[in-house]
Structure 1
Amino acid sequence: MKIKSQRDFWSGLMFVAVGLAFAWGATNYSFGSSANPGPGYFPFGLGILLALLGAMVLFKALTIESDGGAPIGKIAWRPLLVITLAITSFGLALPRLGLLVTMPLLISLSAAAGQEFRWKDALLNGVVLTAGSWVIFVWGLKLTIPVWPVYFGG
């Protein structure tokens, strides 16, 4: 069988592998039932769903012709490294700086990974996503996430 889209083939294969790995890892936890799901229920379902999505992408890569075989391009190192740095910084800074400082920091750093970075857009996204995160996680779900920096009594 001929691969008709390299990008779709390898991304589909990656989705299948990651999905099956998550589903397999979730079997180490209690599954529970539909009425009372355990800690393994949700990751198992998501893993299977991701594997099915990957299988659909793989099927497309093997059956539908694309222009030039959709070759895999160069690895975009800058976005990969900048976004990894932003997420690591968020995890390290959240307990000390609180949600109100670290969310805009994460969003600004992540936006800087792209070619079309604009401070106005990054700050507007930072404000909206920080407010949304506070509403969902702190107010709605009552999670104990530090909101203010420790220096302000947070």
Structure 2
Amino acid sequence: MKIKSQRNFWSGLMFIAIGLSFAWGATNYSFGSSANPGPGYFPFGLGLILAVLGALVIFTALTIETADGDPVGAFAWRPLLIILASVALFGFLLPRLGMVICLPLLVIASSVASDEFTWKASLINAAVLIALSYAVFVAGLKLTIPLWPTMFGA
């Protein structure tokens, strides 16, 4: 069988691997029931859905013809490392600096990885993300997420 789109084939294979890994990892947690789902219920289902989507992407890669075979280009290491470092920095700084300072740092630092980076778009994105995160996680779900640095109080 001939691969007609290399890009779709490899991305579908990646989806399957990640989906099955999450589903397998979720088996270490309690599933609960549909009425009262446990911590493994959602990641298991989501992992299976991701694996099925990956299989569909591979199917299209094997059946739909592309003009040049859709070759996979060079791997973009710089943006990948910048985004990974930004997320790790966010996880480290959130308990110390709070959400109001860490979210803009995350957005701006990860936006630098893009060729289309602008300060205006990054700051607007950060403001919207702070407002939505506060509304969903703090006000809606009542999660205890520090909003400000610990030196400024609760």
TM interval, shorter chain, is: over 0.9
Deviation for aligned residue 1:67:
2.1
1:47-86 equivalent positions in 2, closer than 5 A: 47-86=47-86
Distance in 1 (alpha carbons) for counterparts of 2:152 and 2:42 = 37
Distance in 1 (alpha carbons) for counterparts of 2:142 and 2:15 = 33
1:14-93 equivalent positions in 2, closer than 5 A: 14-93=14-93
**TM-score normalized by structure 2?**
0.97
Unmatched segments (≥5 aa) in structure 1: none
Distance in 2 (alpha carbons) for counterparts of 1:94 and 1:63 = 46
Distance in 1 (alpha carbons) for counterparts of 2:116 and 2:27 = 43
Instruction: Give the ranges of 4+ consecutive aligned residues of structure 1 lying more than 3 Å apart after TM superposition.
Output: none
Deviation for aligned residue 1:30:
1.5
1:18-76: CA deviations, max 9, x gaps?
A: 11111112122211211111111111100110000000000000000112100000011
Give me the identity figure in percent. 65
Aligned CA-pair RMSD:
0.8
Q: Give the match for residue 118 of structure 2.
A: 118
**TM-score normalized by structure 1?**
0.97
Deviation for aligned residue 1:142:
0.6
Is 2:131 the counterpart of 1:134? no
What code does the residue aligned with 2:106 have? L
